[in-house]
Chain A
Amino acid sequence: MSTYLLIDTSTSRTSVAIVGDGKTLFASHHDGALSHGEALPELVAQGLKLESRIDRVIVGMGPGPFTGLRAGISFAQSFALGRGIPWQGVCSLDAIANQISESDFIVAIDARRKEVFFARYTNGLRIGEPKVCQPSQLTAFDIPIYGEVSNQYPDPTAFIAIAESGATYFQPIYVRRPDAYPAPVGVKFRPMNQLDLVPIFSIEKSAYGKAAWTMAQLKEESAGKDRMYVVGEFEGELIAYAGVVNLAGTADVLTLTVADPHRRKGIGRELLRRLIDWSRTQKCEAIMLEVRVGNEEAIPLYESFGFIEISQRKDYYGPGKTAIIMRKELV
């Protein structure tokens, strides 16, 4: 058996424990969202006075507010480097979940900006990777929620068992991407003109099949009043387009489409940003859009801009294909 240094800084609590041969030799914490950098070395120094021989370091990799989270991970990796011992990371939410004995529940912690990081646990197992959302969205699951709300924090002494079960991480579990995004390299954006309708129609067909707009619909939609269309070009070829309309003070996204080979490069994000910017210049109070249930690429993008699901429309995209209506306030 060996002796472990266990660290978690994923919540407002900084926790440190030293466990040797299954026995907790030291466990202490400090509460304060902005003091991980100070509290962590102090706690570890206290612990090392009781047991200075450490064989392995395990650290909570989040999710959690980034600055505090990184203080813990940075400390852990350097401590291990200094001692020439291994380190590994685990999901911090798992160390809250292990304190709860129900069969179906959610663990959620503060993610700042009025959001929470969360994961769902069923029969002792985490379902998928942690995600971020607004607290109000969690109530839709209609199962108990634990975490900071119920004054429960990651218990680092649980890290050993979690690490042994194999779920380890070597990168922080950021969930969110940084606020700033590079503009997609080599992609030019410009207003749409009538000549673009031909390439748009061909992307439309391959992206939406039977649900695609016809050429006539495209012509009509793009010529309407109070709207703005923008296209993206790569090496002279049209690869993406988006449009938005101002309907009596509320903006409605008409389309946002990126040709398949160019997806996941931030082009959709750049288009959406332009639609939002335009809607603001029109003094719209909110912007709305529809997205198909289960569109795993688009929904996180919209959520990252602050769009919230407000309702669903059954059979919107054809029989059995439900649309989620999302809305973002602009004022």
Chain B
Amino acid sequence: MKNSDALVLGIETSCDETAVGIVAGRKLLANVISSSVDEHARFGGVVPEIASRAHLEAMPNVIAQALSDAKVSLKDIDAFAVTAGPGLIGALLVGTSSAAGLALALDKPLYGVNHLSAHIAVDSLNSDHKLNPAIALLVSGGHSSILEVTDLTSDVKTLGSTIDDAAGEAFDKIARILELGFPGGPAIDREAKSGNPDAIEFPRGLTLARDLVDHKYDFSFSGLKTAVSRYLAKTPSYLRADVAASFQEAVVDVLLMKAIGAAKESGIETLIIAGGVAANSRLRELASERTTKAGIQLRIPPMDLCTDNGAMVAAIGSLAVAKGLKPSQIGFAADSSSGISKPIF
């Protein structure tokens, strides 16, 4: 095998999706996801124990389906990759134990990988563009950060991140207040389509001149959340679609303002937007408009690769193999709060 064509199987179980992806080098062969989101919807959030039970039950079938989609057998796999953190520890352990079982059974290398790096790495699939350097805006249920990516498998610097809620969390909370259901991201996106984004002027956190001194690339969404609740309380006749659209606009505006600012200032001409919130249609639309205007190259993975999936884990595993990086030690510890500075365990 040439390292750059290695067949890599990636396993993702950090939250509520049991997912397996298979890639050959940078070519995506299979991406299978079994989600327990419906079971969690009734609680308005992910219940760790329910997620972990679902992972264990779904795993063998998800692996089998991915192999069948990719038309390969387990014996053909050159290396395994698995999300080792961040995530729910009980959920992560189902994935890492399963991956270790496969790697030991087949005597193949295993890479424990960082979930956040994987979100960005998925951008490498199905194209041959140069990967680095890039500014990455990583926005998901648990994270909102701006990163400077010199090398995705070894050198990622955090330029800024949220000081309170993650963008995805803000979507979930506002969706709950608006009684739009869980998960909140797609629900708000849908509702906002028939609303006016300029109807209500919601605040953009950390964008005042004095904020820019210490928090140039940081985000804050808690003030926005309070502003929305206040607005609803004093406006009994509010239009739900307008609230959703104006809230969404406030989030998306500030995300892009700061991310494009970082690209301009660093002189790095590529902006990657990744993570679950990158599936938001308004974010995609506005990002495309503003980057074109700023002369920055924009890359956003296809919608189905933005939310948690196995392809992204296989993708970063594949980059590690291509670079000839050492596999993780057998028995590495999953880390529920691991940071992006450690892409490979």
Residues of A within 8 A of B (CB): 35-42, 44-45, 48, 66-67, 70-84, 172, 174, 178-180, 182-183
Alpha-carbon distance between A71 and B93 when the two chains are bound, in angstroms = 6
Alpha-carbon distance between A311 and B93 when the two chains are bound, in angstroms = 42
18 CB contacts below 8 A, A to B, read A37-B93, A40-B100, A41-B100, A41-B104, A45-B331, A48-B104, A67-B90, A74-B59, A74-B93, A74-B97, A75-B98, A78-B101, A81-B102, A178-B47, A178-B49, A180-B43, A180-B49, A183-B42
Alpha-carbon distance between A78 and B108 when the two chains are bound, in angstroms = 14
Alpha-carbon distance between A7 and B208 when the two chains are bound, in angstroms = 58
Q: Which of A48, A79, A83 has the most CB of B within 10 A?
A: A79
Chain A residues in 8 Å Cβ range of B89? 67
Chain A residues in 8 Å Cβ range of B332? 38
- Whether A83 and B97, one on each chain, are in contact in the complex, defined by CB atoms closer than 8 angstroms, is no
Chain B residues in 8 Å Cβ range of A66? 49, 52, 90
Partner among A77, A179, A183 whose Cβ is within 8 Å of the Cβ of B59: A77
Known: A82-B74, A178-B49. A77 touches B101 (CB 8 A): yes
Alpha-carbon distance between A37 and B84 when the two chains are bound, in angstroms = 11
Known: A37-B93, A38-B333, A70-B93. A44 touches B104 (CB 8 A): yes
Known: A37-B93, A71-B93, A78-B99. A45 touches B104 (CB 8 A): yes
Known: A38-B331, A83-B105. A77 touches B42 (CB 8 A): no
- Whether A70 and B56, one on each chain, are in contact in the complex, defined by CB atoms closer than 8 angstroms, is yes
Alpha-carbon distance between A231 and B42 when the two chains are bound, in angstroms = 21
Alpha-carbon distance between A81 and B73 when the two chains are bound, in angstroms = 11
Residue B326 interfacial (CB < 8 Å):
no
Residues of B within 8 A of A (CB): 39, 42-43, 47, 49-50, 52-53, 55-56, 59-60, 63-64, 74, 89-90, 93-106, 330-334
Partner among B59, B90, B97, B330 whose Cβ is within 8 Å of the Cβ of A45: B330
**The 6 nearest A-B residue pairs measured at CB:** A82-B105, A78-B101, A79-B101, A42-B331, A41-B100, A178-B49
Alpha-carbon distance between A180 and B46 when the two chains are bound, in angstroms = 10
B26 → A minimal CB distance (Å): 25
Known: A37-B93, A77-B60, A180-B47. A67 touches B52 (CB 8 A): yes
Chain A residues in 8 Å Cβ range of B333? 35, 37-38
A77 → B minimal CB distance (Å): 6
- Whether B97 and A82, one on each chain, are in contact in the complex, defined by CB atoms closer than 8 angstroms, is no
Chain B residues in 8 Å Cβ range of A84? 74
Alpha-carbon distance between A330 and B214 when the two chains are bound, in angstroms = 47
Alpha-carbon distance between A42 and B331 when the two chains are bound, in angstroms = 5
Least CB separation from B84: chain A residue: A37
- Whether B93 and A79, one on each chain, are in contact in the complex, defined by CB atoms closer than 8 angstroms, is no
- Whether B330 and A82, one on each chain, are in contact in the complex, defined by CB atoms closer than 8 angstroms, is no
Chain A residues in 8 Å Cβ range of B43? 180, 182
Chain A residues in 8 Å Cβ range of B47? 178-180
Alpha-carbon distance between A190 and B334 when the two chains are bound, in angstroms = 45
Alpha-carbon distance between A70 and B93 when the two chains are bound, in angstroms = 8
Partner among A42, A78, A182 whose Cβ is within 8 Å of the Cβ of B330: A42
Chain A residues in 8 Å Cβ range of B102? 78-79, 81-82
